[in-house]
Amino acid sequence: MKLSGFRHDRRGFTWIEIMFVLVVIAILALMAIPALQDSALKRQVKEGIALADVVKPGVQAAWTLTGEMPANNAAAGAPPREKIVGSMVKEVNIDGGAITLTYGNNASKALEGKRLTLRPAVVADTPAVPIAWICHNVRVPQGMEVRGNDVTDIQMSWLPVECRGGAAAK
């Protein structure tokens, strides 16, 4: 005797089950995207910091020779600020010894026009001691004093680790 029933031969997933899995994957992807964007912006900021190496020797030389920080690019023997450019940076400016990078060119639109400052920390009245470069609000080494103003306006989560120290001593 054969029963006529509701025997279904299930050989896969229903559309509802597949849609549920896709929704879960989409939610996980949306949660990961901001972290990936922050990571990309950190890489761009870090890449831009390397361009400061072009003017650091001029600042060090001015400090060593005169005991004073250079007021601007010309005083440090560096090219004009708009002439020091890179893939991520559209200008490098020296102001009172502090080096400020302005992001642009191929940098993300989120970084366009944002600035990062590297300030010189020196041992007062001892220009023979090399400058320690302080990124944004990293603590100043004991026995040193920082020169120049920090005009960094890049949000903290986009800064590389070496620029996210504790509050700087003023």
Arithmetic mean of pLDDT over the chain: 89
Q: How confident is the model at residue 59 (pLDDT cuts 50, 70, 90)?
A: very high
Task: Please give the pLDDT value at position 12.
Answer: 79
Would you say residue 34 has pLDDT above 80? no
* Overall average pLDDT of the 109-129 stretch: 94
Burial of 14 from C-beta contacts in 10 A (0-12 / 13-18 / 19+): exposed
Task: Please give the pLDDT value at position 5.
Answer: 58
Q: How confident is the model at residue 4 (pLDDT cuts 50, 70, 90)?
A: low
The helix (H) or strand (E) run that includes residue 56 is helix 56-66
Burial of 151 from C-beta contacts in 10 A (0-12 / 13-18 / 19+): middle
Largest pairwise CA distance in the chain: 109
Task: Please give the pLDDT value at position 137.
Answer: 85
Residue 32, CB-side half-sphere exposure with 13 Å CA sphere: 6
The single-letter DSSP state of residue 67 is: S
Q: 43-163 is classed in which CATH architecture?
A: 2-Layer Sandwich (3.30)
* Overall average pLDDT of the 30-52 stretch: 86
Would you say residue 81 has pLDDT above 90? yes
Task: Please give the pLDDT value at position 52.
Answer: 95
Tell which wins on pLDDT, 103 or 11: 103
Task: Please give the pLDDT value at position 169.
Answer: 40
Task: Please give the pLDDT value at position 168.
Answer: 41
Task: Please give the pLDDT value at position 1.
Answer: 53
